[in-house]
Structures are given as C-alpha cells and as structure tokens.
Structure 1
Amino acid sequence: MDENATRHRWPLDLLSPAAMARADVASSVPVPVLMEAAGRAVARAAVARFRPCRTLVLAGPGNNGGDGYVAARLLQQAGWPVAVAVMAPPRPGGPAAEAAARWRGPVLPFAPEEAARAGLVIDALLGAAPMRPLSVEALSMLRAAGGPVLAVDVPSGLDGANGQPLGEVVPAKLTVTFARLKPGHLLLPGRLLCGALVLADIGLPAAALDAALAGEGERSFRNAPGLWRLPQPGAESHKYKRGHVVVAGGAMPGAARLAAAAARRAGAGLVTLAAASETAAAAFRTGEPGAIVAGPPVAPLLEDARRGHWVIGPGLPPDRETRGLLAGALAAGRAVVADAGALGACAGEPDALRGAAIVTPHSGEFARLFGEAGPDRLAAARGAARRIGAVVVLKGPDTVVASPDGRAAINHNAPPSLATAGTGDVLAGIAGGLLAQKMPPFEAACAAVWLQGEAAPPGPGTIAEDVLAGLPGALAAGLGEG
C-alpha cells in the first residue's frame, strides 16, 4: 500500500522522532519483537514493489540497522540473493546486536563497488533523528547504488522532525516507516527524498502511542478529512443561516472576484463584493450575477453586523487605505481572512494582524511579516500564530496550518498545477466561506487548503478558474471522507 491508495485511511496524528522513541519505551511489547515486525514490513514492501534481485542491506549500528538485519534474513528466506554491508557493528547486548547475530548470510565489505553490483539497496544506516550528516564512506555507498534505494524509516541523513537534510541525502525510491508518519515525511524536501511511502503497523499498543502523543505538547497532524468536518446544510437551512462574506476589492478586481466565487462555492449563503472604487464596482458588476456588489465606500458596510465575515487583501494594494480597512474590520469584531494586500500593508508590523481569524501568507509575505521561516516551517508557523493570536496558513507545496494553541497540520495533496496566479485568492475565499458556516478557524483553514488541492486538476494548463470548477467535486469528496 502507498500514499496514493491510503491517504484517507492513514492515522492523522504525526509523531516526531523523539515521540516515537518514547512510544517504544512506553510499549509493553519488547523492542526485539517490534524490530522483528519492522524488518518484516520492510521485507514485505520489497517483495511487493521489486522483482527478486541481488540485494544489499546497508546496516548501521542502531535499531534502524537492526531492522535491516531482520529484513535481510526474511528476504533470504524468501529466496532473494541478499548480503549485508556493515557501516558499524551494533552495541553488544542490544536488540540490534541480537538481530545481527541471527543473520547467517554473506557480509560484504562496506565498499561502493559492492553497492554498485546490487539491484536493490536497503538503507538501514541511520534513524529519523540523525545527530550528524552521513560519513563520506556511507554517502559513497548510497551514491553508488546500482538500483533503487529502499529506506528504512527515513532516507539516512534526513531529519524526521522537519524534513530537512543534514548534509547530502540520497533519495529513496520507497520508504517504509512504522506506526505513524513523521512531519519529515510530508514536509519538503523530505517528502521528495522519501519517494513512495509505506506506513506499517508493527504492533505498538495504542496506549504507548497515546502516551507518546500526550508528551508531544504541540500536536501535529496530516491534513485530511477527519481532522475537520465540512458543514452540511440541513433541511431547515437558508442563506442567512449559512453566513454572509464580504470580499473587499479594488485595484485588481479579478482577484476579489475569484475569492468571492470561491466563498460562494464553499457554501456561504451570501457574498458581497465591496468595491473600493467606482472602477472596481463596474468590473464587479460584469462578473457572476450571484454576487452582491456594494460601495464605494467600503467602510460603512462594517456597520451591518450581519456581514460578519470578511476577506481582505485579494487585489488590494498594500497601502494605508487597506491597512485602515483591516483595522476597522478587526475593531468591529469581524472574522477576517487576511491575504495578499492586507498582509503587505502590515509588513514589519505583524501585530497589526492581531484579532484576525486566519492569515494566509506565502513564504515571501511571511518573511516580510515575521522574518524568514527558515528550515523548520512547523516551528515558524507556530511561532507566528502564537504571536498574533490567529491561525497562520504558511502556503507552499507543503502548506503548514498553525493554530495559536500549538496545533499544526501539514498538507500534502496539492499538485504542482496550483502554482499559478489567482489560486491564493481562491484559497482565501474558501476559508471565508467555511468560516461563515461556523467552522472554527483552524478547521476552516485546514479544510480550505485540502479542498483547494483536491479541486485542482493535476495536469498542465490549469488556471485558478479550474480550481473553482473543481470545488463541487472536492466538497463531495470531503463530505464522503470526513
């Protein structure tokens, strides 16, 4: 099984490498039994994905290496030609040493020419929490691999906590991990370095996993239905119950029109396009007839409490007027999705966003607001959310959604076709439409990000309007899976 086949059935909780180590310690199942199960999962994945071939297991000194010894033994029993090359022997008396002692097959020199002769190389060198980069010798072995690399837990040298490599990491064709995914399996570049993912149940008791999760403090999740539940109108629903979204637009009216259309598609009962100028108002009136057009001026619309949800920023310039509109909406207690021009208007002053429900910066906007995110996007997004008391959507191919309470979700269903103008406006509109239907901000933001990815056609030629067209199908999928 792989990610494409099981993306909705995998557990949503993510465990850091440290938490997974705590789960092992807290488990009532002895480590050698868990190691046997992990090695069996690796062997099964190899048999399922590859034809029998000359296989070389690269074994490190820790439990990761122990998993490799078990996999080597089981593949040999299945009739595969297997050998082991040892980077360093395991610590005497430990479970990895026990697994190594049960290996009766050939042990080859730890030399690149041996890896070059292999049709499959199993990387069992380091675990998911490496303390230092791979040695030159180990890196040479992986570089020389004559066939695909199957990584145990993570490709060696990759930090499972944040998806960042420590030095060079040789990509795997397939990665087999255990019990729960780690953030580094989903965050870039880790996701790409892992190749296809297999998540295997190795018998860790639920109580041990629960204890490890409880010790995490700040919980991390894979973003998918089940983490949130989409609103479903009942028989008694009407447009006023489904909320009123105001999308403020001006200099680039097309962006506001995209956001407004997305809010309508997402289920908002009413959507008003608030025009900052007569030119914008004229452009709005040529758009979809289902959107209400109001203004200019925009500020008086804040006097109507029924217009409780605002999307501010798409198509607005990052100037004093936009900053003033944002401040007025926040002062009036409106639930605000701040994007684009509203973020630019607050550059260097992120506290001006305090009170917003959701902010949606891409990496450049994030840097101008909070400073560079750096290699740990999870930590950066969490820190920003705590600072301004709002849900932060740090956009990208591995979008991170962070709540002020420490929860964070990593999205992994976005196709590269989303990297086109206007899709950010669509995302902001979806979030506004879900907020209007009383979804809490963290859940609304997570659902909006997932829906955008699900709605986007994966092939070439995709434009933002295609994402709008795909939203009904994405909503149906989200309702079916939630």
Structure 2
Amino acid sequence: MRTKAFHFLLSPQAMARVDQAAASSGMDSYGLMQRAGEAVAAAALKRFPGALRYAVLCGPGNNGGDGYVAAAALHRAGAITNVFHLGEPERLKGDAARARLAWNGDSEPLSAYQPMEGDVVIDALFGAGLARAVDAAVARAVEAVEQAGCPVLAVDLPSGVDGLTGAVLGAAFQASHTVTFMAKKPGHLLLPGRTLCGTLEVFDIGIPMRLVAGEAGTLAENHPDLWRASLPRLSGASHKFRRGHLTVFSGPASATGAARLSAMAGLKAGAGLVTLAASGSALLVNANHTTAIMVKRLEGREDLDAYLADPRMAAFVLGPGFGVGDKARDFALALKERALVLDADGLTSFKEDPAALFGAFAGGQTRLVLTPHEGEFSRLFPDLAADESLGKVEKALTAAARAHAVLVCKGADSVIASPDGRAVINTNAPSSLATAGSGDVLAGIIGGLLAQGMPAFEAASAGVWLHGDAAARARTALTAEDLALNVQTQLSDKSSGSLDQSRLP
C-alpha cells in the first residue's frame, strides 16, 4: 500500500515521536509551537470573524502551549481574548512554559469560565494525546459550552476524544472546526470522533515529511491513490472471459432481490460475466428479472462441485438473502480455493463454529472477504466485540489475522483490514447509504473486482470507496437499485476513465 502524505494516519504516540525526532534533528521546537498556535489563531479569525470574545482554554501540556501562542496572536490582532487554564500553569515546562510567558497576560482557572454571548471557545486543553477520562472540571466546561451554544475551535482534536480510537473519554467538546498538524490521527476519522471534530484542517508547521513518513505505519485513509494501480483495465485484447466470471448465490423464491442487487453491482464493477445461481422456483423468478445477468440452476453440493470443475469460475458472493444454515456453511467451505465475499446470512451461518470457516481459508493467498456489520462481527468474534480496550481498527486487524481474511467492518466509518496488518478507514460514505440493500450492493462490487483478479485487500478497499462514490452519484432519495446502477470503476487519469478527477478528495 503506497500511501501519499495526505493519506497518512498517525497514532498520537507516533506523532509524539515525530515531534521528538524534529527536535532531535535540530529544529526549533518552540518555533514549531509558534507556527501551530498562530495557525489556530488564523483559523479562528477567518472562521469566526464576528466573535465578541475568544475564550482560550489552555491545558497542562503542549496543547495548552499552542493555546497560549494562539491567545497572544489573537490579542496582537486586536481581538478581545481571555485565557482560562487547567491545573497549575506555574508547573508548565519547556515550550509550553515559554508560550505562557509569551502570552504576557492574565489567566483564570478553567472553573471560572462562564460562557458569554458572542464567545468563540478555543479548546487547547488536551488534543490527541488524552488517554484517560476527563476530570470533573473539564466535563463541567463541556456542558456549559454546549448549553450556551458557543462555537468551538479545537486544537489538534476536541478535548475528551481519544486520538487513537475516536471514543469519548467521559465527555468531549463538539467542535465546529478542528486544526491539527502535519497528519490526521485515527480519532479524526473514527466515530464519534469524526462527528465531534466538525470540519478538519491539517496544517503543515514545517516538520520534514520524511520524519512523518518514517512513523506512518500500515494504517491510512482510504483513497483511490492507494489502490488505483490495481484496478482492472481494459485493453484491445479484453473479452468477457478475461474480465472474469462472478457467481452470486440466490436465496429462495421469496428472497431473491438481495442477490440480484449484488449481481448487478458486480456487473457494473466490471466483471465480464455474472451468473445468479439459484435453485427451484428461484431460478424462474431471477430469470424474469435479469437480462445481462445469467442464471444457473444449482440445487446442492453435487451441482456446486460440478460447477467448480470450470476453473474460470473465479469469484463468488454468498450470503445476501441466501438463508442461514447448513447449506450456506457447506457451500462456503466448498469454495475454499476460490475468491469469496461472505456477507449477511453467510456470516451468521458460522456463528456457532467460526473456526471452521477460518481454517478452510487459512492457506495460500488471501481470498476470503468478510463484510460484517457490528452485529455480525459480534457473532463471529464475540471476545473482540466485547473488549472495550480495543478500538475499531484494532478489532478489525485482530479479526482479520484470526480469520485469514480481509475484514470490511461496515459502518459510517468502515474499516478495511488485512491479515498482513494493513488497514484503511473509509470516509466518503454519505448518510444516504443507510438504506435496505446497500450492503448487498457492496458485496457485489467487491465480488466483481475480485473476479477481475484484483487482490482481496485492494478489492475490498476499492469496493468500499466506490460504494460511497456511487451513493454520492445517486444523491437524494437513494435506493439500493439506484446505488447499483451508479457504480463506476473507471477513475480518470492519463490512461483511462470518465470520472472527473476534480471529484476525488
């Protein structure tokens, strides 16, 4: 995964090491703090020019130092600025102590802050490094600001949000805007942290990007730059069989729609052929509702084994509307040598014995993609789901390694994790995706990409992003049918595609 700088996600600990590396390399650490604080002041003046007062809440560490610098810059700009401190400011050390002296003004205890009409709050209490629940004084300030309806500009991260997991540690400010430095943190993208940040601005304070890149691990924000090179491309020699064959298993006659949504999405994702495999009367129902998608009668395991004798049957989607039970388990295990997207009923069918599924796909190249929502995840990984010490990324990575599969942990902040330790957080999904059938479409997109030979992690990451992009195309009044019809995989670059590059983040 080749990550460009603007897709980096650094844990708070990694960012602290970047700061230390910058200081060790001879950079003026106080100069970096000055640039950070002045960027906050500039954002405050730009976004809240009508403020009657800037109330700067300064914490006991370097985040507070940024706040003191911002307060001094706002004062020089002629703005009414009051500072309120947490803890004993006389005990500040290093750059933060220097920043407080440079403020050269009074400050009052945080407990003395009373929101006034026209206040803009600059939250410089903790930032991304907080690892414990906020104390009562901070919780009271959060409540007072919320009740007063004052806009908040957060420095690095709204105080009370865990920079690694996005979780709220007791209480947290709801920011209108957040200014962070050099790179985003996972807590900026994971819920509820993403919502609490408001709009997010990443400001370059001058630390060499090589130092940031040195600490950037295998976690990134999902973006076409990460998987564009793996997207299937058409050539003059392309034909339908070279573009791959996707098979989607249909449920009974009364539950065929989910599979058809997956099949249509797989076709739109570029698979050369898509077959709906169904039994009995479901075959006729599907035949009456499809054109470019083929149908195949497939009753039981003997039929499936015969079907698998053709090596061109490369990728499968099992689960949407299929039904929970022995047949789903039997079919999934029969596909252990093929690329498989297991979704919905397919996942739930293994709740009593997930190890059987995980063991079947343990050898060789990763070829299993699991797409659980929160409830399905808890059925397959009950211990991880119950572990409150782990964030969503950590749970997904642990589950992926255990399952020998790529995990798509679905939600507004979907996390895609690979057994090899790579992970991305997706951010382009609009709220309109919360509609029946959208997960079936996602399974089909991923299946269609797998059928064309895309590696599992890249196919899943691309599928999730394209799913969000399709929802944006469908705009309002979104249904799953709209979503499937708006899937577009050809991203514009110098060699192919029709998607306007300006639409990419």
Q: What is the TM-score when the length of structure 1 is the normalising length? A: 0.92
Equivalences for residues 51-450 of structure 1 within 5 A = 51-53=49-51, 54-88=53-87, 89=89, 91-116=91-116, 119-145=119-145, 146=148, 147-213=150-216, 216=217, 219-229=218-228, 230-251=231-252, 252-275=255-278, 277-297=279-299, 298-299=303-304, 300-330=306-336, 333-354=337-358, 355=361, 356-371=367-382, 373-374=385-386, 375=388, 376-450=391-465
1:25 to 20, 37, 41: 20
Contact 1:348/1:370 (<8 A) preserved: no
Q: Deviations over 1:202-246 (max 9, x none)?
A: 111122112222xx5xx2110111111132212222111111111
Contact 1:181/1:199 (<8 A) preserved: yes
Offset at residue 322 of structure 1 (A): 1.2
2:45 to 47, 68, 74: 47
Contact 1:392/1:402 (<8 A) preserved: yes
Contact 1:45/1:198 (<8 A) preserved: no
Q: Deviations over 1:421-478 (max 9, x none)?
A: 1111100000011112221111110110011111114755321011112213885576
Q: Deviations over 1:288-325 (max 9, x none)?
A: 31011111235121111111111111111111011111
Q: Distance in 2 between matches of 1:76 and 1:271?
A: 65
Offset at residue 353 of structure 1 (A): 2.7
Per the alignment, in what secondary structure is the counterpart of residue 292 of structure 2?
coil
Q: Deviations over 1:348-402 (max 9, x none)?
A: 3222333242111111111011115355111111111000111000111111100
1:13 to 8, 12, 16: 8
Distance 1:477 1:13, change over 3 A: farther
Per the alignment, in what secondary structure is the counterpart of residue 321 of structure 2?
coil
Deviates more, 1:84-93 or 1:99-108: 84-93
Report the AA paired with residue 129 of structure 1.
G
Q: Distance in 2 between matches of 1:220 and 1:417?
A: 26
> What is the percent sequence identity of the aligned residues?
47
Per the alignment, in what secondary structure is the counterpart of residue 393 of structure 2?
helix
Offset at residue 153 of structure 1 (A): 0.7
Per the alignment, in what secondary structure is the counterpart of residue 114 of structure 1?
coil
Per the alignment, in what secondary structure is the counterpart of residue 127 of structure 2?
coil
Offset at residue 337 of structure 1 (A): 0.8
Per the alignment, in what secondary structure is the counterpart of residue 316 of structure 2?
strand
Corresponding position of 2:483? 467
**Unaligned stretches of 5+ in structure 1?**
1-7
Report the AA paired with residue 244 of structure 1.
H
Per the alignment, in what secondary structure is the counterpart of residue 49 of structure 2?
coil
Report the AA paired with residue 114 of structure 2.
E
Q: Distance in 1 between matches of 2:178 and 2:110?
A: 22
Q: Distance in 2 between matches of 1:113 and 1:178?
A: 27
Q: Deviations over 1:119-141 (max 9, x none)?
A: 10101011312132222222222
Report the AA paired with residue 296 of structure 1.
L
Contact 2:61/2:92 (<8 A) preserved: no
Q: Deviations over 1:60-95 (max 9, x none)?
A: 110000000111111122221111111121645410
Offset at residue 143 of structure 1 (A): 2.5
Per the alignment, in what secondary structure is the counterpart of residue 116 of structure 1?
coil
Report the AA paired with residue 246 of structure 2.
V
Distance 1:403 1:473, change over 3 A: closer
Report the AA paired with residue 244 of structure 2.
G
Deviates more, 1:121-130 or 1:458-467: 458-467
Offset at residue 111 of structure 1 (A): 3.5
Report the AA paired with residue 128 of structure 1.
A
Aligned residues: 468
Deviates more, 1:145-154 or 1:387-396: 145-154
Q: Distance in 2 between matches of 1:422 and 1:414?
A: 15
Corresponding position of 2:364? none
Corresponding position of 1:5? none
Q: Distance in 2 between matches of 1:193 and 1:163?
A: 9
Offset at residue 346 of structure 1 (A): 0.8
Q: Distance in 2 between matches of 1:10 and 1:26?
A: 17
Report the AA paired with residue 17 of structure 1.
P
Q: Distance in 2 between matches of 1:138 and 1:368?
A: 37
Per the alignment, in what secondary structure is the counterpart of residue 201 of structure 2?
strand
Per the alignment, in what secondary structure is the counterpart of residue 83 of structure 1?
strand
Distance 1:468 1:410, change over 3 A: same
Contact 1:108/1:114 (<8 A) preserved: no
Per the alignment, in what secondary structure is the counterpart of residue 287 of structure 1?
coil
